[in-house]
Amino acid sequence: MKDFYSFIAPFYSFLSKLVFGNDLNDLKIRFVSNLYQKKILIIGGGDGLDYREFQSDLEGEYWELSEAMLRKAKKNLAQSKLTFHLGDFRSNPKNQFDEIWLHFVLDTFPDFELEQFLLEIKKVLKPHSKIYLADFFKPQSNVQRTIHSSMLVFFRVFTQHQRTDVPDYEEAFGKAGFQKVDEMKKRKGWIRAQLWVSAAS
């Protein structure tokens, strides 16, 4: 499997901080709590740098499509209790999680794949457990639209990113049977962190 992120892995975190300051990190850690009580599933965690300060409390699984990113994550989170996996997440209903972290990964999914993915990960959530989403939403200004369009072009060229827009997360999560219970917005709502639970919980 070709690693489309190998080119940007060495400077991905630097570029993110250069463009967005601490905003992306703030969203990734906004709802982190009581980790010592939880088994966490992290999908598309990238280099793991944002989780390094509380890595000793992290237990669960870490899935990443990029071998280069996964190597960095293993180094950055060497003191965690996570098991690291390369490739697409494969669910096992016998392996249940207290929380699933989807940080800046769902915006790479085409709509039909996103809906199927949410139904698939729902199978490994314990009752009353949460999905922790952090991602880009619809740009709110001309400046944001320009930056967002440039980012999409960059990722299409270097990582084979499939989308030309952002998913409708509210619709996708609703169709999959989830309801939103908390939210934090940055940059007038362009980037957000959200907590979702099964509507039956």
- Per-residue pLDDT reduced to its tens digit, 65-118: 889 899 999 999 999 999 999 999 988 888 999 999 999 999 888 888 999 999
Domains of the chain: 9-198 (3.40.50.150)
Cβ neighbours around 141 below 10 Å, total: 11
Cross-strand pairs, 135: 192
pLDDT digits (tens, 9 = 90+) for 163-185: 678 899 999 999 999 999 999 99
The residue type of 1 is M
Q: What is the mean pLDDT of residues 52-69?
A: 95
pLDDT at position 10 over 60: no
Give the predicted TM-score (pTM) of the model.
0.89
CB 106 within 8 A of CB 48: no
pLDDT at 107: 86
Coil, helix or strand for 70? helix
State the Cα–Cα distance between residues 46 and 67, nearest whole angstrom: 10
Res 157: pLDDT: 62
pLDDT score of 21: 82
Residues 138-171 pLDDT 10s: 999 999 999 888 877 766 665 666 767 889 999 9
Q: What is the pLDDT of residue 92?
A: 86
Long-range contacts of 169-172 (CB under 8 A, 24+ apart): 169/106, 169/133, 169/135, 169/137, 169/194, 172/106, 172/111, 172/114, 172/115, 172/118
Average pLDDT, the chain: 88
For 66-160, strand residue ranges (E) read 81-86, 97-103, 125-136
Return the bridge partners of 61, or none: 41, 83
Task: Specify the pLDDT at position 158.
Answer: 58
Give the residue from 186, 141, 188 showing the smallest Cα distance to 21. Answer: 186
* Amino acid 152: pLDDT: 73
55 vs 15, residue with greater confidence: 55
pLDDT at 195: 98
- Nearest CA to 118 out of 153, 156, 48, 169 is that of 169
